[in-house]
């Protein structure tokens, strides 16, 4: 023993220590303790338990948010996420790891429960007793507790964790302020509601995410098999479970524990049952957040859970907000609350909700009458709709029906829908690809939104007078005429009858005063539109594309000053009075229009008789180009005009009067040249001349006038399949001038931050040499490392040489298409960004065998936006690859011959000219057709 003492004393004397001479021993003792704790904390190997997965990486991320190394500040951190996602588990793991580094520490498991059962003073008492490691403390009231925290904790480096905070008042009544804590202290608040954390002023919030596939599988294996080995017969079933629980740790644990030691048959049965009847243990945890919502927020949650969270177009934020607004649920504030409470999120503009939260919402709808769907407030399942229809009884509770089926399901099964006539409180009805038959005596007059494709009857019920209806969408319907006479629809803003092949007339719209959008595309039997369309003072968009038999006097649109979008593509029977050709007659025409607009015409035939003298005196001639543009030049707000494939022989000079135009489609017409006045369209961003096979000469094109700071601008010029263009030198010169002048406008110092994309399709058989990086293949690597930090870099230009061939073997899916050809791959990742080429392909339309160039320019900001999610900096774009992957239209094959690119700098805009940009082999300068 003595020898051991001697050795120990000798060893201790040889070690260096702390010099405490002339220093306060109490302070030095604290330094010694801090050093020992630090050494122990560094050297300790932390174990988070066998049942935890992915914990090391998550704790490390949270440590970075907590910012442990900053010992001179007090930091407040929030942990947020949906119920069952592992917030408490993560916080507990962090607390156990770092608490030895603090003078005082406290973890309150359930602050909300303490407040509810015992009040604020009990919470204060528990906090002080834990932090100070003392027994029972006497706290008389909240003020006394606040004073004790301030006096006892202000000199201590303290770690505090407050779990399950569901009201900001709980934190405020606790009386704990950051200034009451010593330097280096950390306060961690756990809540499902990010609004609470924001209001309390936390420095940063850590949002806990669901488990990725690998750790989720690992956790399920531990719970269901007590090992990482999964029997071969269980692998598919295991994947079924993981698809259902979607990475939610609570659900994985509950399901795994339930499936432990069960055979394959029992697994199959359990999986089938859980989809119909979710585990109560899981639902009870998730329901806590739902129960804390106000009534309108609960309604929004249920609508989203049942209808609008399927990651498709029906889940896009603007559309969902619109429908919820129609339901009078005030979605702007309501959806924000659901986001704050971690019940929904947004990804790329689409509403996301965890599948188990969807199940919660559906189970809440069903809970009062699980086996009687006619008593539910919402129907979303086709089989449930069938059951309701078969019973054919009064259904007072149903407020909303949304059924989505595929085209294949539409063809396979029919459903009798007589019971719809008995749903008097129906507000929302969406039937997509539901093959219906039977008798429809009436539809609920409470409807605010009606969308029903393949509507099977020839007209709407005569008793249908929905004063609340805002949108009526009946594409591919069998309707011949919507209604007889007038129908009072004071709130209707959209009427969509696209591809209703039996529709012969649009009825009197004089009592639909708020109509903003009228879609009639593909109504091939449509002959007339009631002249009352001329008094729709709020009509903004009119789509008459491919209404091939429509006889429409465009003078009826003369008074619609609100019209901003008009699509007349494929309409060849439009009537116009030549009176408009003479400016001196405009005053008389205005008087006539005022008179005719004031008349309540009983039928459209009366209007025809009234207009007959003018059509007789000034019959339309082909060379007048139907007087089309002249009629519309009086519409001051027209932003988009599509008059493609209208057999126009010329475009009048008056097109220059459409000063508000941003997009103009003249494709597929028969004019030889464009008027010089087109250069007056100083707002025009996109001009389409594709398939103008008689076009020989290209005039000077308009330059965009100065734009505002920032924003997005998409410019386009499409000269595809214009086989008669003869002077290509001049054509290239006009295109080059259009391109450079517009770029110079957008790259003025005041607006250089704008996101700009410019697309040009033009004849050409060689990629210009100006594109200094080229590849004789479909792809090329793009390395921005040399140009990342160059302040003169303004963007990148990409060029593709392609040709179209006949391919009778390719059946395709549609007679016409636009092919998606370009993809971008960032950092060699699997994610690709696709971009469609704006070309209209049709087997009998395209002149095959012609080479074309497709050039795209991205501003620096737009290129980063396209390739980064979320948008970041050019530093994220190393090893970017650009390539093509053609989607061939029916009967055609698109072949990409070459591609190339060039980084574009400020000096490029100042130095290069048309010869430099279009300089290629001589064969490309003399284009032959």
Identify whether the C-beta of residue 54 lies closer than 8 Å to the C-beta of residue 178: no
DSSP for 154-214, please give it: TTS-EEEEE-----HHHHHHHT--GGGSPTT-EEEEEES-HHHHHHHT-SEEEEPPPPPHH
Give the model confidence (pLDDT) of 100-114 as tens digits.
989 999 999 999 999
From 260, 258, 246, select the one nearest 210 (Cα to Cα): 246
- CB contact at 8 A, 687 and 716: yes
CB under 8 A, 24+ apart: contacts of 823-828 = 823/882, 823/883, 823/884, 823/885, 824/866, 824/867, 824/880, 824/881, 824/882, 825/880, 825/881, 825/883, 826/867, 826/868, 826/876, 826/877, 826/880, 827/876, 827/877, 827/878, 827/879, 827/880, 828/879, 828/881
Q: List, in order of start, the domains of the chain with CATH numbers.
A: 55-207 (3.40.50.300), 213-277 (no CATH), 283-366 (1.10.10), 758-916 (no CATH)
Q: Where are the beta strands (DSSP E) in 453-544?
A: 471-473, 494-496, 505-506, 517-519, 528-529, 541-543
Helix/strand/coil for 356? helix
pLDDT of residue 925: 38
DSSP 316-343: BHHHHHHHHHHTT--HHHHHHHHHHTTS
Identify the helix (H) or strand (E) that includes residue 781: strand 779-782
* pLDDT at position 819: 62
Tell me the HSE value of 118 on the side-chain side, using a 13 A CA sphere.
12
Beta strands in 505-593 (DSSP E): 505-506, 517-519, 528-529, 541-543, 552-553, 565-567, 574-575
Q: Which residues of the chain have pLDDT under 70?
A: 16, 34, 37-51, 310-313, 574-634, 706-710, 749-753, 811-822, 824-834, 868-880, 883-886, 912-929
pLDDT tens digits, 618-677:
334 444 444 555 556 667 789 999 999 988 888 888 888 888 999 999 999 999 999 999
Distances (CA, A) of 675 to 396, 577, 627, 650, 701: 63, 21, 15, 9, 10
Q: Which residues contact 24 (CB under 8 A, 6 or more apart)?
A: none
pTM: 0.82
313, with CB counted inside 10 A (0-12, 13-18, 19+), is exposed
Q: What is the pLDDT of residue 599?
A: 39
Please name every residue paired with 77 in a beta bridge, in sequence order, or none if there are none. 188, 204
Q: What pLDDT score does 611 carry?
A: 37
């Amino acid at each position: 023993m003595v020898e051991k003492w001697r050795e120990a004393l000798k060893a201790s004397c040889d070690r260096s220590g702390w010099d405490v001479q002339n220093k306060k021993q109490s302070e030095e003792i604290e330094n010694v303790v801090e050093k020992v704790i630090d050494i122990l904390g560094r050297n300790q190997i932390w174990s988070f338990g066998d049942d935890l997965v992915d914990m090391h990486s998550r704790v490390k991320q949270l440590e970075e948010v907590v910012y442990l190394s900053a010992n001179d500040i007090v930091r407040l951190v929030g942990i947020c996420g949906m119920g069952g996602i592992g917030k408490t588990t993560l916080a507990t793991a962090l607390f156990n790891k770092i608490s030895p580094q603090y003078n005082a520490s406290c973890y309150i498991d359930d602050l909300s429960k303490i407040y509810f059962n015992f009040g604020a003073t009990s919470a204060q008492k528990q906090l002080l007793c834990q932090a100070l490691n003392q027994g029972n403390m006497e706290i008389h009231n909240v003020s006394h507790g606040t004073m004790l925290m301030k006096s006892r904790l202000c000199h201590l480096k303290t770690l505090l964790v407050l779990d399950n905070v569901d009201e900001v008042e709980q934190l405020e009544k606790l009386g704990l302020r950051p200034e009451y804590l010593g330097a280096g202290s950390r306060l961690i608040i756990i809540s499902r509601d990010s609004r609470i954390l924001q209001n309390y002023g936390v420095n940063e919030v850590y949002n806990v995410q669901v488990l990725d596939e690998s750790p989720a599988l690992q956790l399920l294996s531990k719970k269901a098999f007590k090992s990482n080995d999964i029997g071969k017969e269980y692998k598919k079933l295991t994947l079924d479970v993981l698809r259902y629980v979607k990475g939610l740790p609570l659900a994985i644990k509950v399901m795994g524990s339930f499936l432990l030691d069960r055979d394959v048959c029992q697994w199959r049965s359990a999986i089938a049952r859980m989809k119909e009847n979710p585990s109560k243990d899981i639902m009870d945890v998730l329901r806590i957040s739902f129960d804390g919502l106000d009534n309108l927020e609960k309604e929004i949650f249920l609508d989203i859970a049942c209808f609008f969270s399927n990651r498709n177009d029906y889940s896009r934020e603007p559309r969902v907000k619109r429908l919820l607004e129609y339901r009078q649920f005030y979605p702007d504030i309501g959806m924000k609350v659901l986001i704050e409470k971690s019940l929904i999120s947004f990804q790329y503009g689409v509403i996301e909700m965890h599948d188990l939260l969807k199940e919660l919402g559906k189970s809440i709808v069903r809970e009062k009458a699980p086996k009687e769907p006619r008593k539910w407030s919402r129907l979303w399942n086709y089989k449930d709709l069938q059951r309701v229809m078969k019973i054919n009884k009064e259904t007072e509770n149903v407020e909303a029906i949304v059924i989505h089926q595929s085209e294949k399901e539409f063809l396979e099964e029919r459903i009798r829908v007589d019971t719809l006539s008995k749903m008097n409180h129906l507000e929302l009805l969406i039937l997509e690809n539901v093959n219906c038959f039977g008798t429809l005596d009436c539809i609920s007059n409470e409807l605010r939104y009606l969308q029903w494709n393949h509507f099977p009857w020839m007209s709407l019920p005569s008793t249908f007078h929905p004063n609340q209806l805002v949108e009526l969408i009946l594409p591919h319907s069998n309707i011949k005429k919507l209604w007889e006479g007038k129908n009072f629809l004071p709130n209707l803003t959209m009427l969509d009858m696209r591809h209703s092949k039996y529709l012969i007339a649009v009825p009197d719209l004089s009592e639909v005063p708020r109509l903003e959008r009228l879609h009639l595309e593909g109504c091939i039997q449509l002959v007339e539109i009631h002249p009352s369309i001329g008094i729709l003072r709020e009509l903004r968009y009119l789509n008459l594309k491919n209404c091939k038999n429509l006889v429409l006097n465009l003078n009826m649109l003369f008074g619609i000053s609100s019209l901003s979008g008009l699509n007349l593509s494929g309409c060849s029977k439009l009537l116009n009075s030549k009176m408009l050709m003479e400016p001196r007659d405009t005053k008389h025409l205005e008087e006539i229009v005022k008179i005719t607009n004031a008349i309540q015409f009983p039928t459209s035939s009366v209007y025809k008789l009234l207009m007959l003298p003018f059509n007789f005196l000034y019959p339309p001639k082909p060379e007048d180009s139907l007087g089309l543009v002249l009629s519309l030049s009086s519409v001051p707000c027209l932003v988009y005009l599509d008059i493609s494939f209208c057999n126009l022989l010329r475009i009048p000079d008056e097109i220059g009067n459409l000063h508000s135009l941003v997009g103009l489609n003249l494709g597929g017409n028969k004019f030889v040249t464009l008027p010089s006045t087109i250069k007056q369209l100083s707002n025009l961003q996109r001009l389409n001349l594709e398939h103008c096979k008689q076009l020989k000469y290209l005039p000077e094109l308009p330059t965009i006038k100065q734009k505002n700071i920032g924003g997005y601008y998409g410019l386009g010029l499409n000269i595809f399949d214009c086989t008669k263009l003869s002077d290509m030198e001049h054509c290239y010169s006009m295109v080059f001038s259009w391109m450079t002048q517009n770029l110079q406008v957008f790259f003025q110092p005041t607006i250089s931050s704008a996101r700009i994309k410019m697309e040009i399709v033009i004849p050409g058989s060689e990629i210009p040499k100006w594109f200094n990086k080229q590849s004789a293949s479909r792809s090329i690597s793009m390395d921005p490392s040399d140009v990342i930090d160059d302040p003169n870099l303004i963007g990148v230009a990409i060029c593709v040489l392609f040709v179209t061939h006949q391919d009778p073997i390719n059946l395709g899916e549609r007679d016409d298409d636009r092919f998606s050809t370009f993809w971008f791959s960032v950092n060699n990742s699997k994610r690709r960004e696709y971009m469609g080429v704006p070309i209209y392909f049709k087997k009998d339309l395209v002149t095959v065998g012609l080479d074309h160039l497709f050039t795209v320019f991205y501003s620096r900001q737009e290129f980063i936006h396209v390739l980064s999610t979320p948008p970041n900096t050019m530093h994220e774009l190393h090893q970017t690859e650009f390539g093509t992957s053609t989607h061939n239209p029916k009967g055609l094959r698109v072949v990409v011959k070459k591609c190339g690119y060039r980084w574009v700098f400020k000096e490029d805009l100042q130095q290069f000219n048309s010869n430099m940009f279009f300089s290629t082999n001589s064969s490309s300068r003399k284009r032959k057709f």
